[in-house]
């Protein structure tokens, strides 16, 4: 069975066209998260030769990643035609543009098509896993780890709720107030908050650690959190 996101979000339609604005609302400090991720891959894999980026959307992370790994060839996997074209436009004029290979497929499609050789020094996947139900998240994590060489670095960011219900309630309340303070109408705020388990699925932090350790990776280190947005780094052993 082909593994596809079960989210109701349509990246080929209006949602995709407004994604850059939407991600600023849904991921607090989005630019800082990307900055930290670029610093992390530059610090942990400075001599990387091959980097895999899965689902970059409009490609906002790509310039920093190319700068952080100046010797690396990049394979960029993005199944949305609209998002892929936006990524290409984002990177046009950048000195590292020619180091990128663009793959208009899902990660599973790319694997099944023998387009990947499981030889990456770094694998980066921002804000993709929460578009999948938990069972699909597990499969996606397996595919991400499989693409990495032993010693390779894996960076994952995702929507990830707290395990405790009282903590969740507090953070949801603050998140709603933040969106209102950013000028979103109340009906839009309600739409964001009711997207749970229909358009967005929490990535369980404890399950992520269990899964990664079971796949012979180091226990992940959390590098960033703002409300429910988190970033982790791990390394394949």
Confidence of residue 191 (pLDDT cuts 50, 70, 90): confident
User: Crossing angle for the helix pair 205-214 and 134-146, nearest 10 degrees?
Assistant: 40
DSSP string, 44-108: H-TT-SEEEEE--TTTTTHHHHHHH-TT-EEEEE---HHHHHHHHHHHTT-TTGGGEEEE-S-HH
Task: Supply the pLDDT for residue 19.
Answer: 80
Measure the CA–CA gap between 137 and 201, rounded to whole angstroms. Answer: 9
Q: Give the tens place of pLDDT for each residue, 119-143.
A: 999 999 999 999 999 999 999 999 9
pTM: 0.93
Query: Measured on CA atoms in the order 30, 32, 149, 76, is the torsion positive or negative?
Result: positive
Helix (H, G, I), strand (E, B) or coil at 5: coil
Q: Give the tens place of pLDDT for each residue, 137-159.
A: 999 999 999 999 999 999 999 99
Q: Give the tens place of pLDDT for each residue, 63-90.
A: 999 999 999 999 999 999 999 999 999 9
Task: Supply the pLDDT for residue 1.
Answer: 31
Q: At residue 218, does pLDDT exceed 70? A: yes
Mean pLDDT, range 27-39, rounded to an integer: 98
14-162+199-235 homologous superfamily: Vaccinia Virus protein VP39 (3.40.50.150)
Q: At residue 8, does pLDDT exceed 60? A: no
Select the more confidently predicted residue: 196 or 103: 103
Domain boundaries, the chain: 14-162+199-235
Measure the CA–CA gap between 65 and 60, rounded to whole angstroms. Answer: 10
Measure the CA–CA gap between 189 and 170, rounded to whole angstroms. Answer: 16
Select the more confidently predicted residue: 10 or 171: 171
Confidence of residue 165 (pLDDT cuts 50, 70, 90): very high
């Amino acid at each position: 069975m082909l593994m596809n996101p079960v989210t109701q979000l349509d990246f080929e339609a209006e949602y995709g066209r407004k994604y850059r604005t939407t991600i600023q609302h849904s991921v607090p400090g989005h630019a800082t998260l990307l900055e930290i991720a670029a610093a992390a891959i530059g610090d942990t894999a400075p001599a990387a030769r091959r980097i895999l980026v899965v689902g970059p959307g409009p490609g906002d992370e790509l310039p920093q990643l190319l700068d952080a790994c100046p010797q690396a060839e990049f394979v960029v996997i993005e199944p949305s035609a609209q998002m892929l074209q936006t990524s290409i436009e984002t990177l046009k004029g950048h000195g590292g543009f020619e180091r990128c290979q663009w793959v208009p497929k899902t990660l599973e499609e790319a694997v099944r098509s023998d387009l990947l050789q499981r030889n990456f020094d770094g694998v980066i996947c921002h804000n993709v896993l929460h578009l999948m139900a938990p069972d699909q998240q597990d499969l996606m994590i397996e595919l991400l780890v499989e693409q990495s060489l032993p010693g390779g670095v894996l960076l994952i960011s995702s929507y990830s709720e707290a395990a405790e219900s009282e903590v969740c309630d507090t953070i949801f309340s603050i998140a709603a107030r933040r969106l209102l303070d950013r000028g979103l109408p109340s009906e839009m705020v309600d739409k964001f908050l009711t997207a749970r388990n229909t358009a967005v699925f929490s990535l369980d932090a404890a399950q992520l650690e269990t899964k990664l350790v079971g796949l012979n990776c180091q226990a992940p280190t959390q590098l960033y959190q703002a409300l429910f947005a988190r970033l982790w780094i791990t390394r394949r052993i």
